Structure 1
Amino acid sequence: MKFYTHVSDRYAPFNTKVIAANASEAAHILDGLLHHESALDIREHYTDTAGAIDHVFGLCCLLSFRFAPRIRDLADRRLYVLDTHAEYKALTSIIGGAVDMRVVGDNWDEILRSGASIKAGTVAPSALMRRLAAYPRQNALAKALREIGRLERTLFTLDWISDPALRRRANAGLNKGEAHHALKRAVFFHRLGEIRDRTFENQSYRASGLNLAVAAIVLWNTVYLGRAVDELRSRGETVPDELVAHIAPLGWEHIAFNGDYVWPAEPLQNTFRPLRSPRADFLDAA
């Protein structure tokens, strides 16, 4: 199995799910976006090429999410248009066909019912995605969502080509996720990172515990990075907010993952460990 984790743009994990190792990640994207039980207001979601399928584009559009995958082999992708007789100039060679709006119109009520059921929690998005994938040709809803997804994917592809800020934002979001996974691998030293629990419930507990430990490290680092920045500014150092925005609270060199764990009888209230002096560290190194 593997842990499929959603990470916010502030590096904190807000949803994790145990899925089969050979399962498609695309089916579980919306589960985390809709049922994370946090205060996050999610507007845009980044993923790698594995999640860039038409049905996900269509459902994300219906549920008001901007789906922004980093698509590999972009030159081999095809665009879909509403009118194949129109003149598209430089894009003509990559036009793959026309979107069948008749199928969308015929099944519009069913599309709205499916979106409302997902939003209300009546059906899990992953369950609906599996059903759509099982009978893609016989299922009219699957055909309609595919057409919506083709249209959305085309619009996104054009934005991706013409908007460097979107490409930078998506790459930065994916890099945050990779850095977060690196911290998880460092934390999960017990049994060399192997999951030996046999029941799904215990595997879920293991995933949630790992998420909690990583979130605690992110919070701890964030608090002390803020105190360090305040200390530098109090000494007259210039630390612009634009620079602070690029500091990741994912370092773990200062954290002992194995050793003695001491729990005080009474928890410390509003007490911080003293900050190290950069000048003293420099003199010790010299």
Structure 2
Amino acid sequence: MMGIGGLVVPGTLRDSPFILDAIFNLDGGPKPETVITDTGSCSDIVFGLFAICGYQFSPRIADLADTRLWRTNTRAVYGPLEHMSRHTVRLDRIRAHWADMVRVAGLLTTGSMRAYDLIRMLSANGRTTGLGEAFAH
């Protein structure tokens, strides 16, 4: 846990969107450029939300063997990281939802929508929506 603007933020996946909400609700002073958490608070959608809002999300990876690295060029050779970088970013999914992704970033930064509520909508009933998949990619 850590405090942001007087708010204690737990480091679990379910509660990690509160970190983003807390950043946008800071009354003044500098905002962080990088947010460091434990592994339990990360997901591909969370990475995407932080990125589109202009923040670097950097969880400490507990088990490197389970780490998923993504690539945009399937022909590139990543040497010793080749076996870890087997997931491909689907740029077509991002392009298809880009306008909505930008609108979501605006809603989050203005406080019109909470990240916690957004993540629940992006992965309702255990199924990720098309927009959620776009953020994940």
1:6 aligns with 2:8: no
* Highest RCO, 1 vs 2 (Cα 8 Å, sep ≥ 6): 2
2:7 aligned partner, one-letter code: T
Residue by residue, what CA displacement relative to the aligned partner does 1:127-172 show, whole Å, maximum 9, x if unpaired? 111211325645111010010xxxxxxxxxxxxxxxxxxxxxxxxx
Larger relative helix fraction = 1
- 1:119 counterpart residue number: 109
- 1:56 counterpart residue number: 46
Structure 2 SS opposite 1:46: strand
2: CA distance, partners of 1:96 / 1:49: 20
Deviation of 1:87 (Å): 2.1
- 1:32 counterpart residue number: 22
Which residue of 7, 26, 35 maps to 1:16? 7
1: CA distance, partners of 2:135 / 2:9: 26
1:180-259 alignment, distance < 5 Å: none
- 1:212 counterpart residue number: none
1: CA distance, partners of 2:126 / 2:26: 28
Structure exhibiting the larger radius of gyration computed from Cα positions: 1
Q: Do the aligned partners of 1:46 and 1:67 also contact (CA within 8 Å) in 2?
A: yes
Aligned-pair RMSD on alpha carbons?
2.3
Residue by residue, what CA displacement relative to the aligned partner does 1:81-109 show, whole Å, maximum 9, x if unpaired? 11222222222111222111101001100
2: CA distance, partners of 1:95 / 1:59: 21
2: CA distance, partners of 1:39 / 1:82: 36
- 1:240 counterpart residue number: none
Residue by residue, what CA displacement relative to the aligned partner does 1:235-277 show, whole Å, maximum 9, x if unpaired? xxxxxxxxxxxxxxxxxxxxxxxxxxxxxxxxxxxxxxxxxxx
| Alignment CA distance shift 1:85-1:135 (3 Å) | farther
Which residue of 98, 107, 121 maps to 1:131? 121
Please give the TM-score of this superposition, normalised by the length of structure 1.
0.43
Q: Do the aligned partners of 1:43 and 1:65 also contact (CA within 8 Å) in 2?
A: yes
| Alignment CA distance shift 1:97-1:23 (3 Å) | closer
Structure 1 SS opposite 2:76: coil
Residue by residue, what CA displacement relative to the aligned partner does 1:210-231 show, whole Å, maximum 9, x if unpaired? xxxxxxxxxxxxxxxxxxxxxx
2: CA distance, partners of 1:68 / 1:49: 9
How many aligned positions are there? Answer: 136
Which residue of 85, 99, 122 maps to 2:89? 99
2: CA distance, partners of 1:15 / 1:54: 27
Please give the TM-score of this superposition, normalised by the length of structure 2.
0.86
2: CA distance, partners of 1:25 / 1:79: 23
Sequence identity percentage: 27
Q: Do the aligned partners of 2:23 and 2:31 also contact (CA within 8 Å) in 1?
A: no
Deviation of 1:5 (Å): 4.5
Unaligned runs of 5+ in 1: 8-13, 148-286
Structure 2 SS opposite 1:67: strand
Unaligned runs of 5+ in 2: none
2: CA distance, partners of 1:91 / 1:31: 34
